[in-house]
Amino acid sequence: MLLEEISVKQDVVPILVFDTKIVYDCFEASLTIEDFWYSFREFKNELIDFYDGERDSANLVLTERELEVSISKKGMQMICKIQLNHYKYDNTICHSSLIINYEIDQSFLPELINEINETLDLLCLK
């Protein structure tokens, strides 16, 4: 999963605007997303607690659910689920999703936490 071209839209609460792209095998999905910056701060805090063994999972679920990330323990394994959702509202509601589940180890978590910190610092959001 790639998050690219991250910027901040100033509002009552600053909003992160970014492009996300998920590629798996022959499937690809991309979407431009806008959401409150504190969703990522909360995810970072959950990741820290998860890494320290204080939680069984860490979840990022954006306000309109365009992007969902879940990292959880299953026995001795860690499972990561990434879900990119697209909703279209015309006369009817159309919904499509790309969902990827895979096993990971926790060695990448400190780097992910640091990347979230650095991004929020760079955008002056703490």
From first CA to last CA, the distance across the chain in angstroms is 23
pLDDT tens-digit readout, 107-116: 889 998 998 8
pLDDT beyond 70 at 9 = yes
Are 67 and 60 within 8 A, CB to CB?
A: yes
Determine the topology of domain 2-121 in CATH.
Answer: Secreted effector protein pipB2 fold (3.30.2450)
pTM: 0.83
Residue-wise pLDDT for 71-117, tens only, equals: 999 888 899 999 888 877 777 777 788 888 989 888 889 998 998 88
Q: What is the pLDDT confidence band of residue 50, given thresholds at 50, 70 and 90?
A: very high
